[in-house]
């Protein structure tokens, strides 16, 4: 019989690290150097109908698509083409906001909202679980007024 030296959990840990590394790895440089029209058209917005270029048939969108194909044939990079279109139409032509300056708020605020919301829910749940119990009356071992006890006995005796 052959014995395996590496424990199964070490292999699982390696697989998890590899999966995380692949998930957070930046996109390949090939996309930047040799973009496809479909890739750029899904990342840019028509200034007239405000839908992505790949779904728009507005005249300006058709001209933008033709410009993208022409610039790709000339060897322009993805960022160069985007920069030209942003210069011509403004940053509203980008389907996703830039990750710098004021546009960075569009990326940060939703995450901040989630964190604050989760913290509020956590604090409220903690306080709710620690809330004092409603007053259920006197404790079981509390002394009862002797007159009240006699009266209760008389009332109960009537029902027997």
Asked if residue 89 belongs to a domain, the reply is: yes
* Domains identified in the chain, total number: 2
Q: How far apart are CA 46 and CA 53, in angstroms?
A: 6
- Give me the residue label for tokens 């405000």: 50
**Taking 90 as the threshold, does the pLDDT of residue 115 lie above it?**
yes
CA angle in degrees (0–180, nearest 5) for 133-138-142: 135
User: Do residues 59 and 71 both lie within one domain?
Assistant: yes
User: Do residues 33 and 111 both lie within one domain?
Assistant: no
User: Which of 30-34, 51-55, 115-119, 128-132 has the lowest average pLDDT?
Assistant: 30-34
User: Do residues 58 and 78 both lie within one domain?
Assistant: yes
Asked if residue 153 belongs to a domain, the reply is: no
Mean pLDDT of 27-42: 75
Task: Specify the pLDDT at position 114.
Answer: 94
Answer whether 42's CB lies under 8 Å from 54's CB.
yes
In tens, the pLDDT along 92-107 reads 888 776 666 766 777 7
Looking at residue 73, which CATH number applies to its domain? Answer: 1.10.8.640
In tens, the pLDDT along 42-93 reads 889 888 888 888 888 889 989 999 999 999 999 989 889 988 988 998 878 8
Residue 108 — very low, low, confident or very high, per pLDDT cuts 50/70/90?
A: confident
Distant-in-sequence, close-in-space partners of 24: CB < 8 Å, separation ≥ 6? none
Q: How long a stretch of residues is the chain?
A: 160
**Taking 50 as the threshold, does the pLDDT of residue 1 lie above it?**
no
Q: What does each C-alpha distance from 83 to 20, 79, 118, 128 come to in angstroms? A: 31, 6, 38, 53
Asked if residue 147 belongs to a domain, the reply is: no
User: Do residues 39 and 53 both lie within one domain?
Assistant: yes
User: Do residues 120 and 87 both lie within one domain?
Assistant: no
In tens, the pLDDT along 121-138 reads 999 999 888 877 665 565
Q: Percentage of the chain with pLDDT > 90?
A: 19
Q: Which domain holds residue 107?
A: 97-128
Answer whether 35's CB lies under 8 Å from 67's CB.
no
């Amino acid at each position: 019989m052959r014995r395996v030296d590496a424990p199964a959990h070490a292999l699982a840990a390696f697989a998890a690290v590899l999966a995380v590394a692949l998930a957070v790895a930046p996109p390949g440089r090939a996309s930047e150097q040799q973009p496809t029209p479909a890739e750029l058209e899904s990342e840019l917005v028509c200034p007239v109908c405000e839908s992505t270029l790949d779904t728009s048939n507005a005249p300006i969108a058709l001209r933008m698509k033709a410009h993208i194909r022409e610039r790709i044939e000339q060897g322009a990079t993805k960022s160069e083409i985007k920069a030209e279109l942003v210069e011509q139409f403004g940053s509203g032509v980008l389907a996703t906001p830039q990750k710098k300056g004021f546009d960075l708020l569009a990326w940060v605020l939703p995450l901040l909202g989630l964190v604050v919301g989760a913290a509020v829910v956590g604090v409220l749940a903690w306080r709710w679980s620690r809330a004092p119990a409603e007053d259920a009356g006197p404790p079981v071992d509390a002394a009862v007024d002797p007159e009240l006890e006699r009266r209760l006995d008389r009332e109960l005796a009537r029902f027997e």
